[in-house]
Structure 1
Amino acid sequence: MAQAFEPRPSLGGRSTVSHRRKEHFCFPILKNSEIVQCLNELGLDVTEDTLARCRADSLHGVYEHLLIDCLDVSKEDLHQPKFYGLDALKHAELHEDSVPAMHFVRAMDKLLVAAGVSAGFCVRDLVKPDARRTRRNLSAIINFHKFRDERLAVFEKMTVETERLMAARDEAAAERDALAAELAAERERRAAEQPELEALRSECLELGTEIASLNQQQARMRQAAAETKEAIAAAKARSVAAVASRKEAAADTAAVRARVVGDPDSVKARLAEAAAALEDEKTRLSDTDRRRRETAVKTDVVTAATRDVEKAATTPGRPSDVWGGADAGALTPARLMAGALTPGSAAAAGVPFAHMDS
């Protein structure tokens, strides 16, 4: 669908007014001078007189040049179309000129419809052109040509981008095909390995069951080992107790054996020796007791004499009065202290012995 083109300032400054009419865009109807200027800019040698006369042979060259520029076709392709049904016609040589002319008319009609002329192009516009229709046709084609030139850069840019995207799409498609082939091969490989995989799964299940059984067996063995350790510890405790009991029994046996009489004669000899030693000990104890009694008597005498001496020293008068008479001088404290007499020996000798009252 064609879009209205705003003419350049060199075309007289006419602005383009566009509105929709029957789904087509309108275009400005140019003056003959503007048309001539635009055609000259496109490389066509056209004058206003050519447009005013509207000669068919002159306009055919103008239409041909504009058609080649706008549709981007070559002159050979335009005059030698590929008409595949020509051989089927009778007297095909009669149509050698009519077929290119028909193709030219159809190409011009396509161009004018694209430029916004809904009525299109007819044979009359080529054979017997009209000045008004020619001006309309050329205005539409020039507007379309200007529009095409402005949009051509965008089109080329989009074409390059499209080619890049198409190349990327082709590359992605190739990669997709390669991946699809690889996926198919992988699926085939997996399908071929499926029996082996099922066998491995069954084996894994069996191994899992066996492992569970072995784990239970290991748990039982650990429990038995723990019980065995406890039994060994108890046996060691009993062994220690038995060793201690054996040592104690050995000590008791040794003590009993020590008390057991070996040789009766030697025992009698030892008993006789013990009895003799006992008698000696008794004699020694008797002598010791006698000496103890004598020592006690001497101690009492000395104590009493000491008291009498102290008393005489503190009492006025003669010492003989204190000691009990004239004969008392025969028994002095010095003699008593020297241990020459005892009370018993003094009485046996008839010497008076005076006791000091405390």
Structure 2
Amino acid sequence: MSGQYWFPSMSVGEIVDAFSGWGISVSHEQVLRPSADFVLGIYSACLQQVTSITQESLSEPVQAALATLDSPDMYAQALAHNFLLFHLQRFARAAKIMDFSAKDLSFPDAERTRSVFSAFINLVKFSEQCESFITGLREKSASVAEERNKITSELVASEEKIRAVKEKLAQDEPKCEILRSENEEITAYLLSCKERQMAMLEIIKTLKQEKASIVKRKESANTEAEQINEQISRTRSRIVQSPERIKRSIVTMGNAATEDKKTVAMHEAKIRDLQTRIAALMDIELNVRSCVEQLQVIEKEMMSLDASKKSLADFRDQLTEKKGEVNELMLKRGRVNKQLSNAQEKLERAQRHAEDKRLASQQTIERLQQEYEEMSVERRDNDKQVEEMRAQADEIERKMTEHLKRNEAELNLLLTEYWKLRDETEVYMETLASGLGMPVRST
């Protein structure tokens, strides 16, 4: 059931105490004879203790799944049961119960239920011990999920913008084609107008030169006429008036004047023609200006099109960058999951090591307990011997005290006799010395 993983099998009392510590009321009878409702409630409580997932929190995804079905009432209970079973199986796999199934919910067996309870309690206690680490992982996971949702929303917005730009480009493409064709036509027309303008300018230049030459000729003719008039006036003053000559001169001058009038009329006609051509050239110039303005408008539209293309390229670059960031986040998530699995493996090894230490400590405690009991027996024997020795020592001490008292009395008696004998000896020596006439040295 648990593969190569080992977790302590708890007794019924330990299971009841563990659940009572979490505020879950469980009796020995319920653990020994589990029912489907009882195990479902206990399993759900363990799941909520670690993952905060409850049957109420699963109602929203259940309703969302039922909304896609034709007969939601028919599948509501089964779907809710399957959702809860899915999360319980994940929880059981985390607790190293790999074969957890719906049978454990519907037809619970007492021994297997006790084993599952032991595994679940072991996992819950482990999660409580590693609460800070798990909280940190949850916060990191929440931040990564939030960042992923943010990037996803940004990606959707970018795709929406790109789609809008593509639609706008698709809508503007016929206009662009029309504008391109019009631009080509206007360019060709402008080139032809330019050629015509150059030809007209050449003609105008030629006509201006002709006009200047005619004006010069007119001025020279006027000058000659004035000179002739002066000569005529001078000649009239010198010559005799001749009617015939005057008539001929008048006829000649009339013919010359007629010729001059014809010439002037011809020049005026040329001037009017030139003015007409100049007006036509002015119209052409206005048309050219309007064409230039249209070309400027087309150029602005083309610049706007280039800006749109550049914006589209920027959006594509941003999309590529966001995809890279998403891939990087997925890699980070993979690394975090790998770190989590490594941490779980380390934790499992630490648990195994702690369990081995616990067993070794328990064996050591049992050995020390046995040695302590042996030492207690030896200490009781030693206490008896010590009491006996203490009694003997007290007896010896009492005897020594009595012996010392007797010795002190005898010593005092001897000292008394000694001083008495000494006094008598000194008296005797003084008496003897005085009798013999010898000097006596006092001691």
Range class of TM-score, shorter chain: 0.3 to 0.5
TM-score by length of 2: 0.32
Q: Bigger radius of gyration, 1 or 2?
A: 1
What is the TM-score normalised by the length of structure 1?
A: 0.38
Is the helix fraction higher in 1 or 2? 2
Q: RCO greater where, 1 or 2, for CA within 8 Å and sep 6 or more?
A: 2
